[in-house]
Amino acid sequence: MGIIERIPTFLTVGLLVAIFVYLKRHARGARLQLWAVGWTLVFTHFLAQLLEPSNGHPSALLLAINGGCLQASAIAFLVSVSPVVEERAKRILLMLALAVPSVLYVALDRGSAQAQWPYLACLVACFGGGVVFFFRANRRPSRYQVMVALLCLGAGTWAVQSVLRGSFNERTIVMLGIGFVLSGVFCYRSHQRPSPAVITISGGFLCWGAVFPMKMLLDHFAPRIILPVELWNIPEIFVALGMILTIVEEPAFELLQRCGVRVDDP
C-alpha cells in the first residue's frame, strides 16, 4: 500500500485525536482521559504505517511502534469500559498488568525474537494476570464474569500451545482481537440503557476485533482477494463517533432525569 492510500486514514484519526483532546479539556473523568490516550496511540500506529517504505522492508523499530501502539490502544479502551475505571489504583494496576506483557509480546514478535520463553512469559503474565485481577476485584463473580474469565483462559492456553509449536505472529492477532471484542462486551454491560451511542461503540469494537482474524483468514484461504484498506478501518470510525455521541448524550440524560423525565421510556 502506497503512502497516498495511507494519508486519508491518518488525517481522519488525527482529527479524532484533536477532538478528544479538546473534549478532555472541557470534561473530566478517567474514561474520557483513557479514550484520548487510546486514540493518540491509534494515531501513532497510523503514523508508523505512514513512515514505512512502500518498497522494501520497514525497520524493526517502526514495526514495533506500529503493532505496540495498536495493542496498547486496545488495552486503554478495555480499561476505559471496565468496572474499575473510576478507581485510580485498580485502574493503573490493571493497565500495567495487561499493557506491559502484551506490548512487550508484540515488540518481540516485530523484532523477530526466536526464543520461546519470552513469549510464554508475556502470555502467562497477560492472560494469567488479567484473570487473577478480575477475580480479586470481583469477590462474587456472576455467571457472565466467569464466562469471560474462562474465555480468556481458553485463549491464553491456545496461545501458549501455539507458541510451543513455533507460531508467534498469530498470537498477536488473538490478543488484538480479544482486546477490542471484550471492550465492546464491557461497554454494553457497563451501561444500563442500550442507547444509540452505546450500541454504536459496542458494535464498532466487536467489528474492530473481528477485523484481525478475518484478515488473517482471508490472506490464508483467499490471498488473491484484496479489499480496500478503508474497508478495514470503518469499525474504528464507528467507535469514535459513538464515543463522541456518548459525551453528548450523558449530559442530556442527566438533565432529563433532573426534570423528572424517565430516559428509559420507549
Instruction: For residue 187, give the nearest of 177, 179, 88, 248 by alpha carbon.
Output: 179
pTM: 0.88
Q: Are 78 and 99 within 8 A, CB to CB?
A: no
pLDDT, position 194: 76
pLDDT, position 265: 42
- Measure the CA–CA gap between 1 and 9, rounded to whole angstroms: 13
Each residue's pLDDT tens digit, 74-129: 999 999 998 888 888 889 999 999 999 999 999 888 887 888 899 899 988 998 88
SS (H, E, C) 156-209: HHHHHHHHHCCCCHHHHHHHHHHHHHHHHHHHHHCCCCCCHHHHHHHHHHHHHH
pLDDT, position 95: 92
Query: What phi and psi values does residue 227 have, to the nearest 5 degrees?
Result: -90, 150
Instruction: For residue 78, give the nearest of 187, 212, 171 by alpha carbon.
Output: 187
Each residue's pLDDT tens digit, 168-193: 666 788 888 899 999 999 998 887 67
Residue 58 has pLDDT above 60, yes or no: yes
CA angle, corner 25, sides to 24 and 29, nearest 5?
45
